[in-house]
Amino acid sequence: MTIEKLDIEALLLMEKNIEAESSKGKEAQLVSELFNNLDLDEYVKEEGGIKAEASTKKKKKNKNKKKKNSLQQTDPPSIPVIDLFPSGEFPEGEIQQYKDDHLWRTTSEEKREMERLQKPIYNSLRQAAEVHRQVRKYMRTIMKPGMLMIDIVETLENNVRKLISENGLQAGIAFPTGCSLNNVAAHWTPNSGDKTVLQYDDVMKLDFGTHIDGYIVDSAFTVAFNPMFDPLLEASREATYTGIKEAGIDVRLCDVGAAIQEVMESYEVEINGKVYQVKSIRNLNGHSIGRYQIHAEKSVPNVRGGEQTKMEEGELYAIETFGSTGKGYVRDDLECSHYMKNFDVGHVPLRLPRAKQLLATINKNFSTLAFCRRYLDRIGETKYLMALKNLCDSGIIEPCPPLVDVKGSYISQFEHTILLRPTCKEIISKGDDY
């Protein structure tokens, strides 16, 4: 019989009897050696039995080796996310179960098989989401009043490029980093040479996207250094969580909007001694997301009375809400920085050679993903404004100017990307921060 197969309780009994006869005997020494060979970390003698925890030296070595070889992200981040997960499997987002009539999906073997077939797509989304989480975590540690807005967005975008291992249209930034301030709700990013400085009393919406093979993760949060804006931020954060909770397969989009508005407009915020009710911006929506298409066919309203259209299995959505102290209605204003090729545009004849050349550059570098002037500058384009205007006038390129509420108002935003999987709802972009 080998040492490993000896009964531990019998050994303890032998030790007790032998010690009683002779503490210095050879038998006691033998039993002691047997225990040493078993490499017991801890054993506890109790009435009626023995509790023992044993681990071999070989297992200890494996554990130490695993810890030693695990790669950790640097500060500032510099290691591509794919290197941090050598298995190629990326963290799953937060899971929420469907309600009521769709609870059966959780245990359906047919639905599980459908998910197994979609695993490569899910993994691409999760990789993009992990990049988003790590970049925004770092940005939260460095953003402070007095920074140039252009420095903030370029730092963020350079980190995305590193962590996602930017590779043309296969992996990279999904759209320009929005850093809209105060009464500007969305679609503002500094153009080259902009000298705007982030102030202590600013409310900044940081909205950026990542993608792998055109599978886009769109997520946003609001930064405000002055604590008087905390209720405004909480309003849009909780409204977004409510929208996510209500969303699901066969849920009507109008019902999601009604739930969002109810939560959003239950909040008030006091700013410089004046109390404002927080309003949902009625002409800004969440949206479905397609491959290489940030705004797909369906819109998720932020107020009641929207479309009766239903959400469907397999769809990807950006649930985003905007809370405003102004009118709750935005209009186009300020200098345009965001542009995007029309997803459904066919062949349009162009007369200007420069416009043709610029379009070829856009097709190669961005395809139907949104871009900004800084991105054109970065790839070496110069003197392109006339050609860009020509592409916009022809309907090939769609300008996306900043969206603005009344002057003096403040707007907050929170946004997550959710996936309506066959068995459950996955909040792809969810992190520890929001």
C-alpha distances in Å from residue 31, one per residue of 17, 22, 36, 43, 271:
11, 13, 9, 15, 77
Same domain, 358 and 383: yes
Q: Is 211 annotated as a binding residue?
A: no
Burial 361-372 (b: 16+ CB within 10 A, else e): bbeebbebbbbb
Of 207, 246, 315, 426, the catalytic one is 207
Q: Is 100 annotated as a binding residue?
A: no
Same domain, 157 and 88: yes
Amino acid code (one letter) for 370 = A
Same domain, 284 and 207: yes
Q: Is-contact 214 127, C-beta < 8 A?
A: no
Same domain, 86 and 226: yes
Of 287, 338, 416, 426, the catalytic one is 287
Instruction: Please report whether residue 37 resides in a domain.
Output: yes
Q: Is 287 annotated as a binding residue?
A: yes
Per-residue pLDDT of the chain (434 residues; tens, 9 = 90+): 444 444 445 444 555 554 444 444 444 454 455 444 444 344 334 444 444 444 444 444 444 444 444 789 999 999 999 999 999 999 999 999 998 888 889 888 999 999 999 999 999 999 999 999 999 999 999 999 999 999 999 999 999 999 999 999 999 999 999 999 999 999 999 999 999 999 999 999 999 999 999 999 999 999 999 999 999 999 999 999 999 999 999 999 999 999 999 999 999 999 999 999 999 999 999 999 999 999 999 999 999 998 899 999 999 999 999 999 999 999 999 999 999 999 999 899 999 999 999 999 999 999 999 999 999 999 999 999 999 999 999 999 999 999 999 999 999 999 999 999 999 999 999 999 99
Q: Is 92 annotated as a binding residue?
A: no
Q: What is the edge-to-edge ordering of all strands in the sheet holding 403-404?
A: 184-186, 403-404, 331-332
Same domain, 218 and 240: yes
Give the Cα separation of 148 and 152 in Å (integer). 7
Q: Tell me if residue 132 is catalytic.
A: no
Same domain, 118 and 103: yes
Same domain, 320 and 346: no
Instruction: Please report whether residue 432 resides in a domain.
Output: no
393 burial type by CB count under 10 A (0-12 exposed, 13-18 middle, 19+ buried): exposed
Of 218, 238, 255, 405, the catalytic one is 218
Q: Tell me if residue 47 is catalytic.
A: no
Q: In terms of residue numbers, what domain contains 12?
A: 3-57
The residue whose two tokens read 């397999």 is 314
Q: Is 109 annotated as a binding residue?
A: no
Give the Cα separation of 386 and 367 in Å (integer). 20
Instruction: Please report whether residue 67 resides in a domain.
Output: no
Q: Tell me if residue 201 is catalytic.
A: no
Give the Cα separation of 69 and 195 in Å (integer). 45
Of 211, 415, 416, 426, the catalytic one is 415
Same domain, 395 and 418: no
Amino acid code (one letter) for 109 = E
Q: Tell me if residue 313 is catalytic.
A: no
Q: Tell me if residue 109 is catalytic.
A: no
Q: Tell me if residue 344 is catalytic.
A: no
Please state whether the predicted TM-score (pTM) of the whole model is above 0.85: no
Q: Is 207 annotated as a binding residue?
A: yes
| Residue 133's CATH number | 3.90.230.10
Q: Is 218 annotated as a binding residue?
A: yes
How many domains would you assign to the chain? 3
Same domain, 317 and 383: no
Of 130, 238, 255, 320, the catalytic one is 320
